[in-house]
Amino acid sequence: MVMIAAVITEERVRELLQNVKDPEVPAISVLELGVVRNVEVKDDSVLVTITPTYTGCPAMDVMRQDIEKELHDAGITNVRVQQVLSPAWTTDWITTEGKAKLLAYGIAPPEHTTDIRALKGELPVVECPLCGSKNTGMISLFGSTACKALWKCNACLEPFDQFKCL
């Protein structure tokens, strides 16, 4: 006998999406990263709309599969994940909790795009996620993944990733 466990609600889907992590930064979920733009529930079908962080981000296909798998495992079979490009993703969509989790994971979170320095094209002041010092410097604009820059701390001498402002 097939049983439908419970009525699917948007709330329930969002709860499940909280379990789907960014495969390249497994500290935060796709919700906290701000790539989930919309969740639409119609009867027993779910449509999740996601947007890529970077155009060529190789994690997008994995996120799509992970979202489908998470919802399938919870008994939701009619799932569609669609990708939209516009409006373009910005690091401002990373939630406050997401930024705190990045920091705890050892990645300096991005500054806000309205930061006056970003407008002038100057480097932001980035606190070392390990020791908290502001005496840091950028080594390279490009880090371990497309979304990160490589920094070093002059106080504790450790290198660290910074989530680039986009």
Partner 1 sequence: MTQQEALFQYCLRRGDDTLLLAQRLGEWCGHGPQLEEDIALTNIALDLIGQSRNYLTYAGEVEGKGRDEDHLAYHRNERQFVNVKLAEQPNGDYAHVIARCFLYDAYHLPLQEALAKSADAQLAAIAGKAVKEVTYHLRHSSEWLIRMGDGTEESHQRAQKAIDELWTYTGELFATDEVDAILVKAGIAPDMAAIKAQWDIKVNAVLQEATLTRPADGFMATGGRQGKHTEYLGFMLAELQYMQRAFPGAQW
Q: Assess 56 for contact with partner 1 (CB under 8 A).
A: yes
Least distance CB 60 / partner 1 (angstroms): 9
Question: Can you say whether residue 97 is alpha, beta or left, with left for phi > 0 and alpha for psi between -120 and 50 degrees?
Answer: alpha
How many residues of this chain interact with partner 1, rule: CB under 8 A?
24
Rounded to whole angstroms, the Cα distance separating 45 from 8 reads 8
Q: Assess 26 for contact with partner 1 (CB under 8 A).
A: no
Q: Assess 57 for contact with partner 1 (CB under 8 A).
A: yes
Choice between 65 and 140, CB closer to partner 1: 140
Instruction: Spell 16-37 as b/e; 16+ CB within 10 A means b.
Output: bbeebbbebbebbbbbbbbbbe
Q: Assess 157 for contact with partner 1 (CB under 8 A).
A: no
String of contacts with partner 1 for each residue 64-93, x by CB under 8 A = --------------------xxxxxx----
The window from 21-29, 71-79, 96-104, 142-150 that contacts partner 1 (CB under 8 A) reads 142-150
**Residues of this chain that bind partner 1 (CB under 8 A):** 52, 54-58, 84-89, 121, 139-146, 150, 164, 166
